Amino acid sequence: PFDVLVVGGGPAGASAAIYTARKGIRTGILAERFGGQVLDTAAIENLISVPHTEGPKLAADLERHVREYEVDIMNLQRAEKLIPARHEGGLHEVVLASGASLKARTLILSTGARWRTMNVPGEDEYRNKGVAYCPHCDGPLFKGKRVAVIGGGNSGVEAAIDLAGIVAHVTLIEFDSDLRADAVLQRKLATLPNVQVITSALTTEVRGNGEQVVGLTYKNRNTDDLHEIALEGIFVQIGLVPNTEWLRDAVALTPRGEIEVDHRGETSRPGIFAAGDATTEPYKQIVVAMGSGSTAALSAFDYLIRLPEE
């Protein structure tokens, strides 16, 4: 069995594996896709001390750094179930989609998150052809064009404010009758001349010409009337979904599915730690995920050295 099994190979998991391997304890890392969300990212300019890198390059750098150590890397493996140890200090079991299972004295859960999608016709077809999820990454592609932002929470309103400085016009579409973003963001939004806000609106379709997005259709939820807007880009900002479905009741999750962790990365279950976007740690960013990965790793090590000899 492993001393530490890291589940998830994004920035949090890579950081955790390096920290535990450097303690000389038996470390494994399991990932459906080594690199994680970073693989889907273009330019990255806020990884401190690296002024500019690109997603695939950072993913390769993460893997190269992990390979400097004696870490068992199991890529393209999906965890489907966690069976916690029956007694403290016992072995936790992770069951894989392949049917195999892995055992470890401690676990570090770092399975990250994914963008919530609208699930409407055209969204998948026009992804990266006008449908985008990351304003920081793709905003500049729509310079001088018309875009919509879907979602009036903090991330949607932040995206609208950000994009208004780049694009010609922003239509912000909110499902509820009011925006849910912080008041200070809403006040800022209201000062921008090229932003229109539409509330009580449900996006029903992404429309395209076979190559590119040309507009969207929404339903006015008060009247049920359908309306069309002509535009070139749609930024979907309706939340991040943690990849924690596989955990079921193994550790405590929030109603939104985030793994509850304390400031040491401890979950509700002794010997199981967690880090990164899958957890309650605020601010879903690469440096934050790396930091919490190292915290969880050091906490796992502290836990192991306190276990009585078998």
* Residue whose entry in the numeric block shows the structure tokens 């749609």: 234
Based on the shown chain and the rule CB under 6 A, indicate whether residue 175 belongs to the binding site for ligand FAD: no
Radius of gyration of the chain (CA): 22
Do 299 and 261 touch, CB atoms closer than 8 A? no
Based on the shown chain and the rule CB under 6 A, indicate whether residue 265 belongs to the binding site for ligand FAD: no
Based on the shown chain and the rule CB under 6 A, indicate whether residue 31 belongs to the binding site for ligand FAD: yes
Nearer residue to ligand FAD within complex by CB, 137 or 198? 137
Query: Which of 243, 213, 240 is CA-nearest to residue 228?
Result: 213
Beta bridge partners of 83: 93
Min CB(31)–ligand FAD separation in Å? 4
**Contact with ligand FAD (CB under 6 A) among 38, 62, 73, 160:** 38
Write the CB contacts of 51 (distance below 8 Å, at least 6 apart in sequence): 45
Based on the shown chain and the rule CB under 6 A, indicate whether residue 151 belongs to the binding site for ligand FAD: no
Nearer residue to ligand FAD within complex by CB, 110 or 155? 110
Question: Which amino acid appears at position 261 of this protein?
Answer: V
Listed ranges 9-17, 85-93, 98-106, 172-180: which one lies at the site for ligand FAD (CB under 6 A) = 9-17
Do 95 and 79 touch, CB atoms closer than 8 A? yes
Distance CA 167, CA 201 (A): 22
- 225 annotated as a binding-site residue: no
Backbone torsions φ then ψ of 200, nearest 5 degrees: 50, 40
Based on the shown chain and the rule CB under 6 A, indicate whether residue 7 belongs to the binding site for ligand FAD: yes
- 10 annotated as a binding-site residue: yes
Residues of this chain that interact with ligand FAD (CB under 6 A) are 7-13, 30-34, 36-38, 40-41, 44, 46, 78-79, 110-113, 133-134, 136-137, 243, 246, 276-278, 284-287, 289
Which residues are annotated binding-site positions for FAD?
3-18, 267-277
